[in-house]
């Protein structure tokens, strides 16, 4: 998570930043706790780490398809598209 995302989540009145300075919709400077922002980032760091290491959504869905997990109608739709555009074709 980036600093800016954490800042916006913790301070809903902030609509923009310039460097380390935050502003509300009227252009007024908004004071905020930088340590609280860092604590928020640290608390959610696992999300970023997981996102970077998980297989892509496409790979996850393809694995589920091949494992036969999808309902029959969804599997039929996927199979039809795979047959329409087989691997190795343009």
pLDDT at 89: 72
Residues 6+ apart with CB under 8 A from 54: 60
Report the predicted TM-score, pTM, of the whole model to 2 decimal places: 0.55
pLDDT 10s digits, 12-65: 999 999 998 999 999 999 999 999 999 999 998 998 899 999 999 999 999 999
pLDDT 10s digits, 62-85: 999 999 999 999 999 999 999 999
């Amino acid at each position: 998570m980036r600093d800016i995302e954490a800042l916006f989540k913790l301070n809903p009145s902030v609509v923009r930043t310039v460097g380390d300075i935050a502003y509300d919709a009227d252009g007024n400077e908004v004071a905020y706790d930088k340590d609280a922002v860092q604590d928020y980032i640290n608390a959610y760091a696992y999300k970023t780490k997981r996102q970077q290491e998980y297989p892509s959504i496409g790979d996850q869905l393809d694995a589920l398809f091949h494992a036969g997990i999808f309902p029959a109608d969804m599997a039929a739709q996927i199979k039809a598209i795979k047959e329409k555009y087989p691997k190795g074709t343009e």
